[in-house]
Structure 1
Amino acid sequence: MRKPAFTYLCRMLVGYSSSSSEEDGGASGEAAAATQKKNCCPKCQEEDDGNNGCPARKKIKTEEQAPKTRLPLPDCLLALFPDEVDPQTEDGSLHGGRVRSFKHERGNWATYVYVPYHPQEEFGELLAELLSAAGTCGVVLTPQEEFHLSLSQTVVLRHHWIQPFTQSLRTGLAHCKRFVCSAGKLRVYCNAERTRTFLGMEVCSGHVQLLDLVRVVDRSMTEFQLDTFYKEPSFHISLAWCVGDLTAQMQECTEELQRMIDEHEGGPFLLRLDCTELRCRTGNKTFRFPLEA
């Protein structure tokens, strides 16, 4: 009696298991697939997680031979070392007609040393009057985007020289003192290529201290075999410029413009320049060198 009953009970359990598998939507099948996937090699699991079985060896070999895609470089790095010169940088029509003193080449950085000038409101008003008066004389001037007093010529610096060159400047300027200089006399300047003419205001005090700074800058220039500053420099702050050599035309109206400066608000206007630091601009980088108080 026990044996038939046991057999009947086993048959019932098997039937219940099959029925449960169908009602559960193949849960036992998924468990089996999971077990089979677990037994596959790790390489198969990584490359074909969506399959229930291991992919064919031929497919694995093909995928392994596919070339790897390189991650693109960030834009900030590409901007630092461009492969080619942007044609727009050489187009003078996009820069008010200005022409480069030397052709841009990869790895060459236009470099110069200067003292910055931060104009006050009074200076801006006077400059607007000067440009208007120059326009009535037939000379159309464009104001400088920023104002400074140059202490070096514009030279070409190789990229790998930037760090040692700026360190040389920092060492030489470490013990130079701050001072104040002033400017009040208009002068006309033209660059060596005769491609631009400038209206500048020449320094009338602080000349000795500026020469001391130039000697320090010249030592660094000589160390890297670069051109030193002019032997008899006319220290000045450029106010405005125009394209071409218009020296003669501008000098004709300089006397009238100087009178406007001398009679500005009842007394001569003096441009005051606080020399608290030097700066070196090379390419798109600017280095600052504070002077001792």
Structure 2
Amino acid sequence: MALVDYESSDEEEEEEGLPRPDAHPSNTLKRKHDATENDLPPLPSKFHDLYASTTRLSTRDDPSLHGGRKRVTPHIQGNWPTHLYIEWYPSTTEHKALTNLISSIQPTLDASPSRIQSLLTSDLGAPLPLHISLSRTLGLSSAQKDDFVSALLTTMKSCKIRPFDTRISGLHWVPNYEKTRWFLVLRLERPREDGLNRLLAACNGVCEDFAQPKLYSSPKTAPKPNDGGSSRSRRPTARSGSSQGPALAAGEDASESFHVSIAWTLVPPSEGIIQCTQRKKDEAAFTAVQEIAVHIAEIKAKVGNIVTNVPLPQKAAEGKGLFGF
């Protein structure tokens, strides 16, 4: 059977602005790459939630599958592990600054039994989100989990905590509750209107209602300026008609506890490593990190492998009516 002889489509391709088949695309692709390299918008927060769970490799706790880490919260059949947190995806520039900071500490660790594990990237080199915890690891029953998320949504909707920024204020090593791992963490400064403390109070209130442990239950004494709260009630719920949101009890302030973990190790850091870390505060690697503004516009509730986004209410535009006119 003879092949059908079609007419050339070169003219149609030229009219439609398409490149000719014999044209070399490298220059066109390079121009497109250069134009968009620095202008790519961030992926939606919900996109990352689709990949929040990992494949289960074993039916029992096997530290060899997780870099030597051991499960600190025992699995109970029928319970749903739950965590409330803020998620932060550093930009390319911010990721580079954080990587440089970890790299500047690594030579000190090379001479010790510690082996630092970065939390910035996966084993394949893909950027990972960083977290600010607003709860401990909780254990909810099947009957509780939906009510818990509903209560959190209701609380956050009524507390009137607007989106805000915070910055890095310090660099420290801290252990987890069980002291099975030590983390290199960035301390966060107390933001305007005390947003982090108020978010913690709201989350702790919901946890308390469901008989779950509260996070940072032994806080420091709060400084008087910018308290953003009242001591009238120990229960941290939103006050009707208040724009300040949930109040902390008198003297409660967990500002020194809020942090972002950027690396970890199984071995307690030596005194030399701790001193080296403290000296970094006066060096350029840490100065670059201090310039980062962490924007907080939502919190997340992860129940099992299901992540629920809980956005902070946006401030209504001034001078507009009920329907935005």
TM-score by length of 2: 0.59
CA distance in 2, matches of 1:229, 1:255: 26
CA drift at 1:249: 5.0
Asked if 1 retains the 8 angstrom alpha-carbon contact of 2:104 and 2:285, the reply is no
Partner SS for 2:211: coil
User: What are the equivalent positions in structure 2 for 1:178-189 lying under 5 Å apart?
Assistant: 178-189=163-174
Does structure 1 residue 281 correspond to structure 2 residue 302?
A: yes
1:155 aligns with 2:138: yes
How far, CA to CA, are the matches of 1:262 and 1:217 in structure 2? 31
Q: Does 1:127 align with 2:98?
A: yes
CA 205–261 in structure 1, closer or farther in 2 if over 3 Å, else same: farther
Give the structure 2 partner of residue 194 of structure 1: 179
Does structure 2 retain, via aligned residues, the 8 Å contact 1:184–1:270? no
The answer as to whether partners of 1:188 and 1:250 remain within 8 angstroms in 2 is no
Report the structure number with the largest CA radius of gyration.
1
Q: Please name the residue that 2:148 is paired with.
A: 165
Contact 2:190 2:196 (C-alpha < 8 Å) held by counterparts: no
Which secondary structure does the structure 1 equivalent of 2:198 belong to?
A: helix
User: In structure 2, do the counterparts of structure 1 residues 261 and 269 end up closer, same or farther at CA, with 3 Å as the change threshold?
Assistant: farther
Secondary structure of the equivalent of 2:179?
A: coil
Residues 93 and 248 of structure 1: CA distance in aligned 2, closer, same or farther (over 3 Å):
farther
Match of 1:216 among 184, 202, 208: 202
Q: Is the 8 A contact 2:100 2:285 kept in 1?
A: no
- Give the aligned partner of residue 67 of structure 2: 96
Q: What percentage of aligned pairs have identical amino acids?
A: 25
Which consecutive unaligned segments of at least 5 residues does structure 2 have?
Answer: 1-55, 120-127, 220-253, 315-325
Residues 172, 278 of structure 2: 8 Å contact kept: no
Structure 1 gap ranges (5+):
1-84
Equivalent residue, structure 2, for 1:142: 117
Higher normalized helix content (fraction of residues)? 1
- Relative contact order (C-alpha < 8 Å, sep 6+): which is higher? 2
Query: 1:111, 1:97 → 2: CA distance?
Result: 23
C-alpha distance in 1 between matches for 2:166 and 2:189? 7
1:9-68 deviations in Å (ceiling 9; x for gaps):
xxxxxxxxxxxxxxxxxxxxxxxxxxxxxxxxxxxxxxxxxxxxxxxxxxxxxxxxxxxx
1:253–1:173: structure 2 CA closer, same or farther, 3 Å change rule? Answer: same
Q: Quick one: which of 79, 84, 99 aligns to 1:108?
A: 79
CA–CA distance in structure 2, aligned partners of residues 99 and 249 of structure 1: 26
CA distance in 1, matches of 2:304, 2:116: 26
Which residue matches 1:239? 262
Give the Å deviation of 1:205.
Answer: 3.5
Aligned residues: 207
- SS class of match (2:95): helix
- Cα 1:277–1:193, aligned 2, differ >3 Å: closer, same or farther? same
**What do residues 164-201 of structure 1 show as CA deviations (whole Å, max 9, x unaligned)?**
00011001000332111111421211012111111111
Cα deviation for residue 202 of structure 1 reads 0.8
Work out the CA distance in 2 between the residues paired with 1:171 and 1:247: 45
The 3 A distance-change label for structure 1 pair 167 and 93 is same
Q: 1:256 to 1:226 in 2, by over 3 A?
A: same
Q: Structure 1 residues 179 and 128 mapped into 2: Cα distance closer, same or farther (>3 Å)?
A: closer
C-alpha RMSD of matched pairs (Å): 2.2
Alpha-carbon distance between aligned partners in 2 of 1:162 and 1:282, rounded to the nearest angstrom: 7
Partner deviation per Cα, 1:230-255 (whole Å, 9 max, x = no partner):
13231111111111332645412212
Task: Tell me, in whole angstroms, the C-alpha distance in 1 between the residues paired with 2:79 and 2:116.
Answer: 30
Partner of 1:228 in structure 2? 214
Q: Which of 290, 298, 305 in structure 2 is aligned with 1:269?
A: 290
Deviation at 1:119, TM superposition (A): 0.4
**What is the letter of the counterpart of residue 229 of structure 1?**
L
